[in-house]
């Protein structure tokens, strides 16, 4: 018991150290996590040589599979960004649903465009449409921008093939297809309640004088000088990797050796699914739009540099997870949890929630929480790792505030005051996080009943 208490203290100290290094000392998250690995290892009595080899295996084991997935996902996102696909989705939905439902349109577009692109990229990509609609209808930018931001943040945190969501799926040993299905079941009500419904209840619809001055200063129009791809082909390109990965899960129950199962397992492998999706994207949003292979090569090269930061953070998160397991800290925590009444879903959500509030990065919050929670799976063998992946993602949605770059992107592009951004956007992320937790608990309860648990 004394040893377990000491190891818990080591874990707590490492978490505090990560927060202090990132927030106070301004150390990069990758370096902060690596330092924390040595603190945990040394505190648990691991030899230095063992710590180093564990770091190597942790980074290699995590990135060995993920780095290709992250790279291909980045290429697919860049194709969508450069082709005008996101703009096409928004324009078509606005034409069909009308400007009165523009806040719903922005939520839907954020959910669709958010599948292959990062939060900041998706928001900056779509903000001109927010300006155009807001100018034409005199609607408050918050009323349109918050649903867009909440959808992008939700998809970013809970749905593979987003890098952080894919990383914790691999770290937790979860099935990618199942995580996608659960993520959609949890994400859809989350985006609806914390997006369009939230702004309908708590945001003024009409733009005030200050907002109208801001909108006039933005000027410009959207997509006037280029031919946009079709709506259906864009939607298919975005959703293709999800369809293929879910297909793998759907065919897993078929007879061994059945052609449908063999084909489903092949095309549904995340690496194959993304390779096929990128190849399709090259044609559907590239060659089909009269882009040359030279242009697509240049576009591909530009998609890789922005991924470096997230690759290093995820690698360090894998190392942190490996050290927690190898040092015995994870086993000690699991031992304390066995027979206790602590709900692992709520615990996973809460750890990610606190980490995002503290360090201002959803990615760091997710990989850190996964490293802490993964060794605890043994405490409840009946709990599916896919559910814990969603719980971690749900927690990391919350508390996007002044420590998070996403907060400043939203505040500045929507032209609102600090207090308004905190009330409406930060408040919306907290609501989204809580709704996602409730939905995850409900989903787990329904699954337990259906399985006779």
What is the pLDDT at residue 35? 95
Q: How far is 8 from 336, CA to CA, in rounded Å? A: 10
What is the pLDDT at residue 221? 55
pLDDT band for position 339 (cuts 50, 70, 90): low
What is the pLDDT at residue 453? 54
Among 40-54, 300-314, 336-350, which stretch is predicted with the lowest mean pLDDT?
A: 336-350
Could you report the per-residue pLDDT of 391-402, keeping only the tens digit for each? 999 999 998 988
What is the pLDDT at residue 253? 85
Residue 380 clears pLDDT 80, i.e. is over it? no
Higher pLDDT, residue 307 or 441: 441
Residue 40 clears pLDDT 80, i.e. is over it? yes
What is the pLDDT at residue 224? 52
What is the pLDDT at residue 263? 94
> For 338-361, what is the mean pLDDT?
86
Domain that holds residue 189: 2-450
Residue 378 clears pLDDT 80, i.e. is over it? no
Residue 386 clears pLDDT 60, i.e. is over it? yes
- For residues 115 and 255, is the Cβ–Cβ distance under 8 A? no
What is the pLDDT at residue 331? 75
Residue 405 clears pLDDT 80, i.e. is over it? yes
What is the pLDDT at residue 251? 93
> For 344-361, what is the mean pLDDT?
91
Above pLDDT 90, what percent of the chain?
56
| Domain count within the chain | 1
> For 357-371, what is the mean pLDDT?
90
DSSP notation for 324-374? HHHHTHHHHHHHHHTT----HHHHHHHHHHHHHHHHS-HHHHHHHHHHHHG
What is the pLDDT at residue 387? 96
274 alpha carbon, distance to own chain's centre:
17
Residue 424 clears pLDDT 80, i.e. is over it? yes
pLDDT band for position 2 (cuts 50, 70, 90): low
Residue 219 clears pLDDT 70, i.e. is over it? no
pLDDT band for position 346 (cuts 50, 70, 90): very high
Is the pTM here over 0.75, yes or no?
Answer: yes
Q: How far is 248 from 257, CA to CA, in rounded Å? A: 14
What is the pLDDT at residue 201? 93
Q: Identify which of 1, 66, 20 has the alpha carbon closest to the alpha carbon of residue 310.
A: 66
Residue 452 clears pLDDT 90, i.e. is over it? no
Among 27-31, 101-105, 414-418, which stretch is predicted with the lowest mean pLDDT?
A: 414-418
Residues 186, 191, 192, CA angle at the centre, nearest 5°? 105
Could you report the per-residue pLDDT of 260-288, keeping only the tens digit for each? 999 999 999 999 999 999 999 999 999 99
Cα torsion at 179, 182, 185, 189 (round to 10°)? -80
- Report how far apart, in Å, the C-alpha atoms of 354 and of each of 51, 205, 364, 433 are: 27, 32, 11, 12
Residue 183 clears pLDDT 60, i.e. is over it? yes
pLDDT band for position 53 (cuts 50, 70, 90): very high
Q: How far is 369 from 445, CA to CA, in rounded Å? A: 22
Could you report the per-residue pLDDT of 288-316, keeping only the tens digit for each? 999 999 999 999 999 999 889 889 999 99
The DSSP letter of residue 228 is: P
Q: How far is 453 from 450, CA to CA, in rounded Å? A: 7
Q: Average per-residue pLDDT in the chain? A: 89
Could you report the per-residue pLDDT of 154-175, keeping only the tens digit for each? 999 999 989 999 999 999 999 9
What is the pLDDT at residue 3? 74
- For residues 30 and 315, is the Cβ–Cβ distance under 8 A? yes
pLDDT band for position 90 (cuts 50, 70, 90): confident
Residue 437 clears pLDDT 60, i.e. is over it? yes
Count of other CB atoms within 10 angstroms of residue 193: 20
Could you report the per-residue pLDDT of 103-142, keeping only the tens digit for each? 999 999 999 988 988 898 889 888 888 888 888 788 888 9
| Helix orientation angle between 102-113 and 141-158, rounded to the nearest 10 degrees | 30
């Amino acid at each position: 018991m004394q040893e377990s208490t000491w190891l818990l203290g080591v874990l707590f100290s490492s978490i505090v150290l990560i927060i202090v290094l990132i927030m106070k000392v301004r150390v990069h998250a990758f370096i902060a996590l690596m330092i924390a690995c040595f603190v945990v290892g040394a505190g648990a009595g691991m030899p230095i040589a063992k710590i180093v080899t564990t770091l190597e295996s942790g980074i290699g084991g995590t990135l060995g599979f993920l780095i290709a997935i992250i790279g291909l996902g980045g290429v697919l996102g860049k194709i969508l960004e450069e082709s005008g696909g996101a703009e096409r989705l928004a324009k078509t939905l606005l034409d069909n649903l009308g400007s009165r439902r523009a806040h719903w349109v922005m939520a839907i577009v954020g959910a669709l465009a958010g599948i292959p692109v990062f939060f900041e990229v998706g928001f900056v990509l779509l903000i001109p449409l927010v300006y155009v609609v807001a100018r034409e209808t005199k609607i408050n930018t918050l009323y349109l921008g918050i649903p867009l931001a909440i959808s992008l943040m939700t998809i970013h945190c809970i749905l593979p093939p987003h890098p952080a969501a894919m990383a914790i799926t691999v770290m937790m040993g979860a099935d990618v297809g199942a995580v996608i299905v659960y993520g959609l079941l949890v994400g859809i009500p989350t985006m609806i309640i914390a997006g369009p419904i939230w702004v309908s209840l708590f945001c003024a619809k009409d733009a005030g004088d200050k907002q109208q001055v801001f909108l006039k200063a933005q000027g410009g129009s959207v997509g006037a000088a280029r031919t946009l791809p079709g709506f259906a082909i864009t939607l298919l390109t975005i959703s293709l990797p999800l369809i293929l990965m879910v297909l793998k899960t759907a065919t897993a129950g078929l007879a061994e050796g059945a052609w449908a199962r063999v084909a489903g397992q092949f095309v549904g492998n995340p690496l194959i699914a993304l390779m096929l999706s990128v190849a399709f994207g090259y044609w559907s949003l590239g060659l089909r739009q009269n882009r040359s292979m030279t242009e697509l090569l240049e576009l591909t090269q530009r998609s890789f540099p922005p991924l470096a930061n997230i690759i290093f953070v995820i690698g360090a998160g894998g190392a942190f997870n490996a050290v927690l397991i190898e040092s015995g800290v994870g086993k000690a925590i699991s031992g304390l949890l066995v027979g206790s009444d602590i709900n692992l879903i709520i615990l996973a959500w809460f750890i990610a929630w606190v980490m995002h509030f503290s360090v201002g990065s959803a990615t760091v919050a997710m990989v850190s929480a996964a490293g802490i929670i993964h060794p605890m799976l043994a405490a409840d063998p009946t709990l599916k790792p896919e559910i814990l992946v969603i719980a971690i993602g749900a927690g990391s949605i919350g508390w996007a505030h002044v420590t998070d770059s996403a907060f400043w992107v939203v505040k500045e592009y929507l032209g609102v005051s600090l207090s308004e951004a905190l009330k409406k956007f930060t408040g919306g992320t907290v609501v989204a996080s809580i709704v996602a937790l409730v939905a995850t608990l409900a989903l787990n309860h329904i699954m337990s009943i259906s399985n006779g648990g």
